[in-house]
Amino acid sequence: MNQVDYLRISLIDRCNFRCLYCMPEGAELNYILKQQLLTDQELLTLIQEVFIPVGFTRFRLTGGEPLLRPGVVELVKKIAHLPQTQDLAMTTNGFLLAPIAKNLYDAGLRRINISLDSLDSDTFEQIIGKNGRGRWQQVWEGIQAAYNVGFDPLKLNVVVIPGVNDHEVLDLAALTIDKNWHVRFIEFMPIGNGELFGDRGWISSADLRDRIRQRWGLTESQVRGNGPADVFQIPGAKGTLGFISQMSECFCDRCNRVRLSADGWLRPCLLNETGQIDLKSCLRAGVSTAQLQEQVKQLLAIKSEINFKQRDSGTVGSYTRTMSQIGG
């Protein structure tokens, strides 16, 4: 396996969207109470005194929707200015981004991923669920603001859903031609809502690449990211196309990350609940950060077994948390 040096940090489990693939429609989600969330100081303590000493240097802030976290700009600044931080990124739905894009950039955030599952406002509203009307334009303004501020790379995440937005693949891919934008097509993962799209809720990356190749041609890109995406480029395009193929093409052997939930659970694998550690409860119970380092080291030592592509999910029946609650 790759060295595990990348921590995805969920700042909050709440979101102002309710996307079909992230929050099961009709399900009542039990949101984490404020006092159960990691405080800013607890999070910084874990980063500085537990994760950095065992080799973590790359951090991504996720949610829910991370921009709903109070004081998020100041928290970004504190993490970005740690001397050991080599990379700090954020994944957001972009709805609240436009007014604070510059503040985030000035605080030290340099890379940002924005979810954009459709260029059609009606389809977009269908995907993001209730209360979605009129939100596409505000997300688009957030994307433009991030681009104008100077975020590079600016990545757009697209979860491709058959019969919903798969007819837009070429239009979304075309966004990379004239701008240095990086569009990433993601296969839907049945986390917490496996019945949502029946037997086949995803379209393979190979299929998407074939469609794009037939339209423009497609070459492997010289640009490589830190994550699991296979990166390609339309000939002559300024940006790139990434394909994250967790359903059709297992990439467990390339995994370099673990996930920290908003309430302090460290999860070694998105698709496996084995071996999770409740770091928040340990910290509040007075367990030393040196002891927590040892627990994290032990978890990293078994991560290659947990990540085996034929792995069990580590759960009985369905996953205990949805994608939004994990911080995927």
Binding residues are 8, 15, 19, 21-22, 60, 64, 91, 115, 155, 189, 252, 255, 257-259, 269
Q: Which residues are annotated as a binding site for S-adenosyl-L-methionine?
A: 21, 64, 115, 189
Q: Which residues are annotated as a binding site for [4Fe-4S] cluster?
A: 15, 19, 22, 252, 255, 269
Q: Which residues are annotated as a binding site for GTP?
A: 8, 60, 91, 155, 257-259
Helix/strand/coil (H/E/C) assignment for every residue in the chain: CCCCCEEEEECCCCCCCCCCCCCCCCCCCCCCCHHHCCCHHHHHHHHHHHHHHHCCCEEEEECCCHHHCCCHHHHHHHHHCCCCCCEEEEEECCCCCHHHHHHHHHHCCCEEEEECCCCCHHHHHHHHCCCCCCCHHHHHHHHHHHHHHCCCCEEEEEEECCCCCHHHHHHHHCHHHHCCEEEEEEECCCCCCCCCCCCCCCCCHHHHHHHHHHHHCCEECCCCCCCCCEEEECCCCCCEEEEECCCCCCCHHHCCEEEECCCCEEECECCECCCCEEHHHHHHCCCCHHHHHHHHHHHHHCHHHHCCCCCCCCCCCCCCCCHHHHCC
